């Protein structure tokens, strides 16, 4: 017998999750064996419903995935996708539900740091076996999860990236990886553990209770919309906390605003300079950034999600 799930939006009773089930035609046995259920919430800023609809349409290409957008993704409360309490509750609802296999963060922006410590404290046993996928401001949560050994933290595209030029490819890359396809992984990943961060997020993490031990790791860094003098200042701070890493790779430093005078050094010059000053090996480029080409970097050793 085949099971078919039409592409409709509905509200699951008691869960507060807007579901966009995907068109799937599988036997019940295959469905039970292959289906992965992905919960989506917004720990920082909101997305619009058209983002959810466009991402869900693409997800229809991945028969083994079922996406569930939490209603909190669409809440607007000033800058944030709901108050701290609302965002925290939605994250824990998604993380602690044993019916979900992964939590995909809808968007960055700002706000994840405000709920990260409480979120980690509130996670149950069910949360520990999940994959958590996102980047940018969501790096606060990824860092805390990795430090605590809770679940599996992964840098990678988010639903909001559908709005970028070429964003469909970014969404397909994330969904492919969640389906077990390694093609979207950052190509330099190898036998050494790795982690990837937005530069200012990593700078803010340093010295906090969320900062993981990155000794022996290849650390990849990207940034967007910061003046080069600010990038230089951030590297000054970050490299003081990365002296025991295996090396640093530089992702794309994009949308750099024009200053009233040229800084005089490129982003790569800045990274090389501060790595040399701090005794950190500069390993070259990383294929990550605030763009549709952003590749996937699992924290630790690279592998695709385990398939049941």
pLDDT tens readout for residues 170-214:
999 999 999 999 999 999 999 999 999 999 999 999 999 999 999
Stretch 223-231: mean pLDDT: 98
Q: Would the pLDDT of 29 be above 50? A: no
Q: What's the rounded Cα separation, in Å, for the pair 18 and 129?
A: 23
pLDDT at position 148 is 98
pLDDT per residue over 275-307, tens digit each?
999 999 999 999 999 999 999 999 999 877 754
Burial-class residue 251 by CB neighbours within 10 Å (0-12, 13-18, 19+): buried
pLDDT per residue over 129-158, tens digit each?
999 999 999 999 999 999 999 999 999 999
Q: Would the pLDDT of 11 be above 60? A: no
Work out the mean pLDDT of the chain and round it to a whole number. 90
Share of the chain above pLDDT 70, in %: 88
Q: Would the pLDDT of 23 be above 50? A: no
Q: What's the rounded Cα separation, in Å, for the pair 265 and 186?
A: 26
Closest CA to 173 of 193, 187, 152, 194: 187
The torsion of the CA quartet 298, 307, 105, 71, rounded to 10 degrees, works out to -170
pLDDT at position 306 is 53
Handedness of CA 190, 244, 203, 150 (dihedral sign): positive
Percentages of the chain per state (helix, strand, coil), in multiples of 5 = 35, 20, 40
pLDDT classification of 31: cutoffs 50, 70, 90: very low
pLDDT at position 303 is 74
β-pairing, 218-224 vs 247-254, is parallel
162 vs 35, more confident: 162
pLDDT at position 26 is 33
Stretch 33-56: mean pLDDT: 93
């Amino acid at each position: 017998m085949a099971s078919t799930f039409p592409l409709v939006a509905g509200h699951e009773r008691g869960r507060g999750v807007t579901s966009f089930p995907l068109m799937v035609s599988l036997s019940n046995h295959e469905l039970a064996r292959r289906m992965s259920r992905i919960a989506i919430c917004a720990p920082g800023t909101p997305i619009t419903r058209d983002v959810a609809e466009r991402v869900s349409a693409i997800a229809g290409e991945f028969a083994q995935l079922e996406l569930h957008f939490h209603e909190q993704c669409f809440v607007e409360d000033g800058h944030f996708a709901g108050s701290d309490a609302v965002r925290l509750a939605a994250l824990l609802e998604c993380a602690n539900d044993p019916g979900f296999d992964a939590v995909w963060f809808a968007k960055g922006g700002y706000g994840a740091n405000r709920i990260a410590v409480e979120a980690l404290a509130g996670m149950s046993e069910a949360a520990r076996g999940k994959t958590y996928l996102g980047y940018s401001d969501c790096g606060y949560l990824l860092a805390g999860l990795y430090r605590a050994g809770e679940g599996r933290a992964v840098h990678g595209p988010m639903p909001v990236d559908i709005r970028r030029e070429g964003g469909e490819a970014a969404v397909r890359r994330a969904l492919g990886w969640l389906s077990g396809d390694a093609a979207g992984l950052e190509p330099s990943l190898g036998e050494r553990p790795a982690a990837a961060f937005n530069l200012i997020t990593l700078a803010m993490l340093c010295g906090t209770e969320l900062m993981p031990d990155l000794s022996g790791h290849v650390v990849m860094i990207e940034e967007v919309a910061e003046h080069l003098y600010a990038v230089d200042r951030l590297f000054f701070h970050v490299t003081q906390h990365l002296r025991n890493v295996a090396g640093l790779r530089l992702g794309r430093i994009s949308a750099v605003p024009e200053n009233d005078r040229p800084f005089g050094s490129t982003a790569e010059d800045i990274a090389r300079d501060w790595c040399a000053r701090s005794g950190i090996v500069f390993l070259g480029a990383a294929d990550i950034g605030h763009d549709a080409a952003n590749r996937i970097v699992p924290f630790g050793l690279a592998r695709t999600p385990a398939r049941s």
